[in-house]
Amino acid sequence: MSNIFIWPVRVYYEDTDAGGVVFYANYLKFYERARTEMLRAMGFEQDELITHEAVIFVVRSVQVEYLKPARFNEMLNVSAALCKVKSASLTFEQTITRNDEILNTASIRIGCLDSDTLRPKLIPDALKQAINYA
């Protein structure tokens, strides 16, 4: 549907467990950063969406495959690609790689909510248009 967005991430000591490998939940943080930076690259800041559109984005579901571990101080590339856009949700296919080696994959569904009521809300038109042109 859209181009693949890539965001570089370095593994910090705080990202690892006692064995020096990335703690499993921290991969979700890396994916979140890539989605946030993808929106930013499209001209949308999440705090401004809250202020001007009264919308927030929340994770609705996650499916993750842990294939190989990442370790302290490694440079990773985190991808984000939109594969499905509905009226109030976005589904991303995401991958974490080290060089050309796939370490982790995920399918993440994001819901769009009204920031006041926390009920589903339509994705703002300007964002939907930007997605369609990406």
Mind telling me the catalytic residues?
17
d(CA 112, CA 87) in angstroms, rounded, equals 9
Cα angle: 3, vertex 37, 114; to 5 degrees? 100
C-beta separation of 117 from 55 below 8 A:
no
Coil vs helix vs strand at 89? strand
d(CA 30, CA 27) in angstroms, rounded, equals 5
Strand order in the sheet with 89-98: 5-10, 75-85, 89-98, 101-114, 55-66
Tokens of 14: 């705080």
The secondary element (H helix, E strand) that includes residue 24 is none
